Amino acid sequence: MSLLTGLGAGGAVTAAPTRRPPSRAYWWLLLPGLVYLALFFVVPVGALLGTSLYVPVPGGDVGQYQPAFAVGNYADALAQFWPQLVRSFVFAFLATVVTLVVGYPVAYAIAVRARGRPVLQGLLLVLVVAPFFTSFILRTIAWRQILADDGFVVASLQWLHLLPEGARLTATPFAVVCGLAYNFLPFMILPIYASLERLDPRLVEAGADLYASPMTTFRTVTFPLSLPGVVGGTLLVFIPASGDYVNSSLLGNNTNTAMIGQVVDARFFRLLDYPTAASLSVVLMLAILLLVAAYVRRAGTEELL
Partner 1 sequence: MPRPLPPGTDPVVAALVAHGRRAARARRAASAGLSRRQFLLGAAGTAGTAALLAACGTGGGTPGAGGTSGGGGGAGDALRWANWTLYLDQDDAGGYPTLQAFTEQSGIEVEYSEDVDDNDTFYGKVQGQLANGQDIGYDLVTLTDWMAARWIRMGYAQTLDREAMPNTANILPGLADVDFDPGRTHSLTWQSGFGGLAWDTEKVPGGMATVSDLWNPEYRGRIEVLSEMRDTIGLIMAEQGVDIAGPDWGDAEFGAALEVLREQIANGQIRQVRGNSYAQDLVSGDAVAVIGWSGDVTALNFENDGRFGFAIPESGGTLWSDNLLVPTPSSRVEDAQTLIDHYYDPVVAAQVAAYVNYITPVQGAQEAMADVDPSLVEEQLIFPDEATLSQVKVFRTLTPEEEERYNRDFLDVIGA
Q: Find the binder of partner 1 among 29, 34, 137, 286 (CB under 8 A).
A: 137
Q: Computed from CA positions of residues 195, 196, 202, 204, in that sequence, does the dihedral angle turn out positive or negative?
A: positive
Distances (CA, A) of 108 to 150, 181, 190, 273: 36, 18, 10, 47
Instruction: Determine if 243 is a binding residue for partner 1 (CB under 8 A).
Output: no
Binding segment for partner 1 (CB under 8 A), chosen from 68-76, 118-126, 197-205, 269-277, is 269-277
Q: Find the binder of partner 1 among 12, 61, 209, 298 (CB under 8 A).
A: 61
Report in angstroms how near the CB of residue 188 gets to partner 1 at its nearest. 24
How far is Cα 24 from Cα 271, in angstroms, rounded to an integer? 50
Instruction: Determine if 279 is a binding residue for partner 1 (CB under 8 A).
Output: no
How far is Cα 111 from Cα 187, in angstroms, rounded to an integer? 15
Strands 65-66 and 55-56: antiparallel
Residue type, 89: F
Residues 6+ apart with CB under 8 A from 141: 250
Residue type, 8: G
Binding segment for partner 1 (CB under 8 A), chosen from 47-55, 165-173, 187-195, 209-217, is 165-173
Report in angstroms how near the CB of residue 88 gets to partner 1 at its nearest. 12
Instruction: Determine if 245 is a binding residue for partner 1 (CB under 8 A).
Output: yes
Do residues 116 and 177 make contact, with C-beta atoms less than 8 angstroms apart? no
Give whichever of 16 and 272 is closer to partner 1, judged by the CB atom. 272
Give residues in contact with partner 1 (CB under 8 A).
Answer: 60-63, 134-135, 137-138, 141-142, 144-145, 148-151, 166, 168, 170-171, 245-246, 248-250, 252-255, 257-258, 261-263, 265-266, 268-273
